[in-house]
Structures are given as C-alpha cells and as structure tokens.
Amino acid sequence: MSLQSALTGKAAALAEQGNAGSIVTQFGFDVDAVIAWIEAVRGRGIDLPIRVGVPGPAGVKRLASYARRFGVVPSAGIAKKYGFSLTNLLTTTGPDRFITDLAARADPSVHGTIRLHFYTFGGVRATAEWVRNFAS
C-alpha cells in the first residue's frame, strides 16, 4: 500500500465514522514541494485541514542535522530559498521566508485549510518567542 492510498483510506474512514481529522506533516524547507503535495492531496479529494510542519528558529547546523536524520535533506538551493547558508553552520535561522512564501502561495479555495505546527529544534522558549514576534 502506498502512502497516498493509506492517507486516502484514513480520510475515508474518518468521514464514514463522522469523525473530524487533520493531517500533520513532517517539517520541510521547500514551499514548492509543500504546495505540490497539498495540491496532490486535494486532487485525491481529501479535504481535511493540513498542519504543515515548520522548523522553529535554530542553528543551521542543528537544522541540517535534524534534516538528515529525518530524511529531509536540504540542498543548497532549498537552503537559499529558506534563508540560510549550508556553508555558515554557526548562524541561527528562522522560518520567516518559508511562512511568508507559503502564505503568499496558499489559496484557500484551492488548497483548503492550512495551518502550521512548529518543531522546536532550537527550544520551546525560542520558538514561542519567535512565533509571538512574527505574529506581531
């Protein structure tokens, strides 16, 4: 069974039982890939809300380490789009550009309900402070 058919089956089972649900994703760095995946999900008739995983602010070295461990290896091009340099691993980066680009591209009439959830790789406090500052 493919991941796509498993997701379709789970969404159908939730609907048949009258249960609400949502989809929570792994974290990523590439808005193009996230939008394409959401469009594929919607194209299969799945209209559950989607919570896109976003790495909270963290050191570039730490982000790259988590990305390798979870199979979300950022290329130099993706790193540049996300706003960090793989050659300067001592800096800290946040998801500002990713979230701004995702918000600009997401169309509720096409992509449905999209929310975020944060991976606190740089710590809960740093992530919470970043979210508060970004929101204001």
pTM of the predicted model as reported, rounded to 2 decimal places? 0.83
pLDDT under 70: residue ranges of the chain: 73-92
Say what the pLDDT of residue 74 is.
Answer: 60
Class of domain 21-131: alpha beta
CA atoms lying within 13 Å on the CB side of residue 116? 19
Give me the helices (H) in 55-123, please.
60-69, 76-82, 96-105, 108-111
Say what the pLDDT of residue 84 is.
Answer: 57
Local structure of 134: helix, strand or coil: helix
